[in-house]
Amino acid sequence: MSTVGLVDYGIGNLLSVARAFEHEGATIKHVHTPEELRSCDRLILPGVGAFADGMKGLWSRDLVEPLCEYARAGKPFLGICLGMQMLFDASEEFGEHQGLGLIPGRVVAIPAVGIDRRPHKIPHIGWSPLTLPPERSTWESTPLQGIRYGEPAYFVHSFTAAPKHEPDRLADCHYNGVVISAMVARGNVFGAQFHPEKSGAMGLRIIRNFLAL
């Protein structure tokens, strides 16, 4: 079955991601260097924690340009959580920080109040249903193929990506009425704000779909 590169840039915990992909039959290869990255045909950029730390981890390992090259080569690329946020142009988390710029848009704080103007808990933690964004007509031929509208996935985050172009939104969710970009897609580049590796059977299905792209 397919070999998947898992970018290891010194941040967060790769074990859960590796286990979930291995459960679906993938062989995981940890990627630390530009050379290792260039040999991949399928790539995951995981990550939790702060945006600036994540980008620093990529810069210090000279992985930023190789990641962009990889994405331009048209091969399947999935960013998870912070890994999705880093696909964007920039983030406002603890100051202004530049991202990979693979998907136009910015990463901003989740609004501190719900749609009813009442304060809600931050981080957004828990299982939120995925919905089809207004500009999308289907999840066919994407990692969400076969997932039912309204199927919940596990989220934990305080910041959220705001794609500049509506068609880049693959799935949304709502946190007390606030629209959150749950998944993005631009060609071969995908990002999931939720954790497929922690979303039970539906998450494993998404991983299986990604492996079949």
Partner 1 sequence: MHNVRIIARLDVKGENLVKGVHLEGLRKLGDPREFARRYYAQGIDEIILIDIVASLYERNSLLHLVERTTSDVFIPITVGGGLRSVLDVQKALRAGADKVAICTAALKRPELVREIAGTFGSQCMVVDIQAKRKAPGQWEAYFDNGREHSGRDVVEWARQVADLGAGEILLTSVDREGTAKGMDLELIQKVTAAVPIPVIVSGGVGSAEDFTDAVNVGKADAVAMAHVLHYNHQTVAQLREHAIARGVPVRRFDSAA
Q: Residue numbers of the site for partner 1 (CB under 8 A)?
A: 12-13, 15-16, 19-20, 23, 48-50, 119-129, 148, 150-152, 154, 156-158, 175-176, 195, 197-205
CB of 124 to partner 1, least distance (A): 8
CB of 175 to partner 1, least distance (A): 6
Structure tokens at 17: 């991601």
Among candidate residues 24, 93, 151, 197, the one labeled active-site is 197
Residue type at position 211: L
Among candidate residues 81, 97, 151, 157, the one labeled active-site is 81
Which is closer to partner 1, CB of 128 or CB of 142? 128
Q: 34-64 as b/e, with b when 16 or more CB fall inside 10 Å?
A: bebbeebebbbbbbbebbebbbebbeebebb
Which is closer to partner 1, CB of 104 or CB of 146? 146
Check if 81 is active-site.
Answer: yes
CB of 117 to partner 1, least distance (A): 14
| Residues assigned a catalytic role | 81, 195, 197
